[in-house]
Amino acid sequence: MTHLKTLDGTPASRFAFGTMQFGGNADESASAEMFDASRAAGINHFDTAFIYTGGASETILGKLAAKAREQLLIATKVAYDGNGDPEKLQADFDVSLDRLGLQSVDILYLHMYVGTDLQRALEWMVKQQAKGKIRYIGLSNFAAWQVMAAIAIAKQLGTQIDILQPMYNLVKRQAEVEILPMCLNQGVACAPYSPLGGGLLTGKYANGGAGRIKTDQRYSERYSLPYMAQTAAELSQLAAELDVNPATLAAAWVARHDTAPMPILSARSAQQLTPSLDAITFQMDDDLYKRIAALSPAPPPATDRWEERA
């Protein structure tokens, strides 16, 4: 069980909801519907960032969260540009708090690795923690060695790294090599984003559907390897066989990893979100987990000794 708790002492839910679409592809009404659907499904962990939709994401989430603040775990992020200068972090964090309408947040992430500014950035975060402005320190998009460097610095400063947010899904499995085992070993909670692979694993693109892989060059490149489309097609075939939505299988598969990550679900509408929310109650046994895992290539072990892979 995660050590992260809401202000009223409730443990963080096994799934989180990411508000990257709030104020962008999802207007305020659609955002409210997804927020309510997530709450009804038992989610109490909501994630946003300074950079999302020009600030609209934080603003909308803040309004929605106000009615149940102590029952929620609210996370935001700074340093998407990799700038760990404390003055810049403070300026952006102040803006985030203002947008959210909050005096503090539960989790504050460094959105990207900040290089040689890591020491200064963490010293700044510790000061915010001491002031009660943040409760938990998080890192996003950090490599395992970068996380370990941050863990060492945090320990020197009398605190800890509480949570990591990496990319992880059936066609992006690098986290299995060192990130997930490291989180388990170091007691760091893990909340992976993109469990549906930018929508690829829903099967919608094979049917001519729209989404970020078609409209965002970063996503197009990220999911461009031929095996990825093949994996998505085979997952859809398996889902049809089981009479389950492929999005449900994709999200439940991420959560089923032995290290118990907390996948961040997201969508553009409540209707689109429903199959992902179904993953919360979907029962995935060992055989199905292995069957799904076999649809994509597992990354080599950290030592690259293929013949000794467990």
- Measured in residues, the chain has a length of 310
Average pLDDT over residues 102-125: 98
Q: Residue 45 and residue 61: Cα distance in Å, rounded?
A: 12
Number of domains in the chain: 1
- Does 269 have pLDDT greater than 90? yes
pLDDT given for residue 279 in this prediction? 98
Q: Is 1 exposed, middle or buried (0-12, 13-18, 19+ CB in 10 A)?
A: exposed
- Return the percentage of the chain with pLDDT > 70, whole number: 98
Give the integer Cα–Cα distance in Å for 98 and 143. Answer: 31
- 281 is a domain residue: no
Angle between helices 286-293 and 246-255 (to 10 degrees): 110
How many other C-beta atoms lie within 10 A of the C-beta of residue 240? 12
In this structure, are residues 123 and 68 in contact, taking their beta carbons and an 8 Å threshold?
A: no
Q: What share of the chain is helix, strand, coil (3-state, %, to 5)?
A: 50, 15, 40
CATH number at 108 reads: 3.20.20.100
- d(CA 148, CA 281) in angstroms, rounded, equals 34
Task: State the residue for tokens 């946003």.
Answer: 48
The token pair that represents 15 in the structure block: 């799934």
Element housing 264 (H / E): strand 264-265
| Mean pLDDT taken over the chain | 95
Q: What is the DSSP letter of 279?
A: G
pLDDT at 208: 75
The domain in which residue 131 lies consists of 1-165
Say if residue 280's pLDDT is above 90: yes
- Segment 76-103 shows an average pLDDT of 98
E strand spans, the chain: 16-18, 45-47, 73-78, 105-110, 134-140, 163-165, 189-190, 264-265
pLDDT at 310: 53
Across the range 91-118, mean pLDDT stands at 98
CA 52 to centroid of chain Cα atoms = 14
DSSP secondary structure letters along 105-128: EEEEEESS--GGGHHHHHHHHHHH
Residue for token pair 């007691």: 187
Asked, for residue 16, whether it belongs to a domain, the answer is yes
How many percent of the chain have pLDDT more than 90?
A: 89
Q: Examine residue 280 and state whether it is found in any structural domain, yes or no.
A: no
Domain presence at residue 195: no
pTM of the complete model: 0.95
pLDDT in tens, 30-69: 999 999 999 999 999 999 999 999 999 999 999 999 999 9
Tell me the pLDDT tens digit for each residue of 158-199.
Answer: 999 999 999 999 999 999 999 999 999 999 999 999 999 999
pLDDT at 188 (0 to 100): 98
Does some domain include residue 208? no
CB 297 within 8 A of CB 227: yes
Residue 231 has pLDDT above 60, yes or no: yes
Q: Which residues are catalytic?
A: 52
Q: Is residue 103 part of a domain?
A: yes
